[in-house]
Amino acid sequence: MMRTTDIRRSLSLRPAAGGGSRGKGMPGVKGSFPGAVVCGRGKRDLRPAVVVFVLLAMLVSTIVPLGPGPSVAHAQDSGGTDSVFRLGPTARGVGLSAAMVGLALDASAPYWNPALLAHVPGSQLTLSFNRLYSIDDGAAYQYVGLVIPTLHAGGFGVGLMRLSLGGIDTYDASSRPTGSIDYAETQMLFSYGWGTRMPLIGGRIDLGLSAKIHSLELSERSTSGGMDGAVAWQPPHLDAFRLTWVSQNLIAPAFRLVEMEDEEPSTQRFAVSFHRRLGEPTTLALAVDYDLPELADARLAVGGEFAYRGLYTVRAGYDSERFSVGLGGRWRAYALDYAFRSGGELGASQFLTFTWHFGESIQERRLENERQRQLELQQARMEAVEKWRRQEATRALDEVRVRLDRGELDTAEESLARARGLGADEDLLAPLQEELGRLQEQRRQNEVADELHRSQVRQAEQAVRSALAEGDPPAARLALQQLQRIAPDHPMLPRLSAEVDDLLAGAIARAQAEATAAEQDGDWETALRAWGEVARLDPADPGPAAAQARWQAQLEAARHDSEQARAQAAQARRQLVQEQRYTQALEDFAQGEFDTAAALCNEVLQVQPGHAGARELLRRIELRRRQPRQLSPQEAEAVRNFYLAGLTRFTDGDYEGAISQWEKILQIDPGNQGARNNIDEARARLKSLHRGEEQREGEPR
């Protein structure tokens, strides 16, 4: 049968240094002795670890042992008491020889390092059931752990650990067997971890706490509460490294068995870890842990693991006492880990752990949140762009209205195009587009009308100058009146008026002189013709009427002289009638009644074929008919409409339609030379077009 001291050693319940025991024996056993089961544990005071000590311990832990007890090399042979859960709850920690303080990114974090709960990649549930040693009735080592990390609120974890061993023989002071007892320790952990970036010192710092309920069963049962604390720091620009300090039993559980009261010893754990993805498929993790148990020797543990694609893992570790190796595999959401720890006095141990990964991983949540953030940002940008577009469209529409009010049609059209490009409402664009089109058409019509007016002004001015050059006073006066009517503010009017007045005055003076001389010579035929010219040049001149009265008086006086005199009187009367007709023709001509004036002139010529004034008046009538006449407002509007319609068809290449519209102008105003010129131009282009078509038809194909 195995002795109790061997079992304690195998469970790391080692006697105090020097072989003595501070506890009392079991009930019914007198005194105490080196081989009895130890229920109480002694204490050794440790000064609180300060920051400098922590950093120095992390830097030199691989070289210099920091514990007050014996060196690591002699830890296995020295006495003392250590935690029964020292190897950790899972096969992964065993495979790394307990070098897990900086690498506990899994469901074992509530035990090893609650500060890393926020770094666990996803929610996990772990089950572990192991036999510690290859002996009969070996110790049963069980663990159930659950961790749930969050994106912003840290990580939460729950763990339940239990170590049990039955059939432990007990002895009295004389080493005589007294029977057997069962031993069990249970630890329930409730953990939380949270971290943040530190702008003052740089890097990231993580804090964690594990509240635990610790129960000890050894013939009696005692339950107490405690707490673990942890701090982890990732240096700036070195995210692959992590420095960690874990204080187990920061608030130590206290047990009371029979008449003894004992407190669970604390352990300070310091670790330096390295975790880096070497490439897309591989990851390397290394860790160095240095433990300072309160009632045991300091320990150094070194471990590392290599993972391929997150599916296969190989790990190994050494803790100055034994070496460990482990393997891990994962399929979808399920993982299985195995560890082998080399044997001591009682042989090797094997560990097996099953893990279920459930829910979305933290990385997936971050990606989803980032995707949502990007979508929201994109939506916000789209809303901002849409708001800006609406504002710009409204501003562009306002600019269109302002430009239309100012008559700036070109810039209004540009602003309207910009508003349409910005997606302005068609209900708002349509009336502005219609108004712009109306104003543009009005402007085009005004331009055509202005061009027509300028053409008429040029024609009237040219008619005045032609009449002046020909020395034709009536024609010059008529052309001047037309120029005054269509362009009363023409800059050349004063000069042209003076020239026409001078021409009329000279012609009237010459006619009056000729008439006076003819009367004195008794040539009344010449005198009456000259006085008729005066009446034509100046209808308001009283000379022609006075001459006619003198002629009638002379005819009456000579009527009784002779038949010749009577014949001369009849002839004179006929001449007088013709002169009256001629005078009436002059008046009709001056009033624009060309047809009536032409009929009177023809009557005069029938009686007096040689009447020079009638012939000259007919010539002027023909010339006047070729010149634009004064039109009524209705006729002028009709001429303008026919002119614009013909111009539109001419621009579109419809020359026959243009000729048809302009011929309607000649029906109203036969003397409209502009319409005749336009008709000639349209006929020339139509003829050229027909000639080109005939040439194309004659070409060989």
220-234, 536-550, 564-578, 588-602: which range is least confident on average?
A: 564-578
Question: How much is the pLDDT for 228?
Answer: 94
d(CA 493, CA 487): 9
Q: Is the pTM of this model over 0.85?
A: no
Is the per-residue pLDDT at 506 higher than 60? yes
pLDDT 10s digits, 98-132: 999 999 999 999 999 999 998 999 999 999 988 76
Measured distance CA(435)–CA(414) in Å, rounded: 14
Task: Specify the residue for token string 């400098």.
Answer: 52
For position 630, what pLDDT does the model report? 63
Is 659 a residue whose pLDDT tops 50? yes
Q: Average per-residue pLDDT in the chain?
A: 78
In which element (H, E) is residue 190 found?
Answer: strand 177-197
Say if residue 78's pLDDT is above 50.
no
Q: Can you give the pLDDT at residue 582?
A: 76
The pLDDT tens digits for 300-347 are 999 999 999 888 999 999 987 789 999 999 999 999 999 998 876 556
Q: What percent of the chain has pLDDT over 90?
A: 25
Exposure string for 4-29, b = 16+ CB within 10 A, e = fewer: bbebbbbbbbbbbbeeebbbbbbeeb
pLDDT > 70: percent of the chain: 80
Provide the β-strand partners of residue 192. Answer: 156, 209
Whole-angstrom Cα distance, residue 252 to residue 217? 17
Average pLDDT score over residue span 372-376: 92
Q: Are 276 and 306 in contact, with CB atoms under 8 Å apart?
A: no
Question: Residue 312 gets which letter from DSSP?
Answer: E
- Write out pLDDT tens, residues 592-645: 677 788 888 888 888 878 777 778 878 777 776 666 556 677 887 888 788 888
116/569 Cα distance (integer angstroms) = 148
Q: Which two tokens stand for residue 387?
A: 């708001």
Query: What residues contact residue 287 under an 8 Å CB cut-off, 6+ apart?
Result: 96, 99, 100, 101, 102, 103, 271, 272, 273, 274, 301, 302, 303, 304
* CB distance 93 to 100 below 8 Å: yes
Q: Are 516 and 543 in contact (CB under 8 A)?
A: no
pLDDT at 581 over 60: yes
**One-letter identity of residue 181:** I
Give pLDDT, residue 575: 72
- Across 11-20, 102-111, 575-584, 629-638, least confident range: 11-20
pLDDT > 50? residue 34: no
Q: Give the whole-angstrom CA distance, residue 287 versus residue 244.
A: 11
Higher pLDDT, 505 or 230: 230
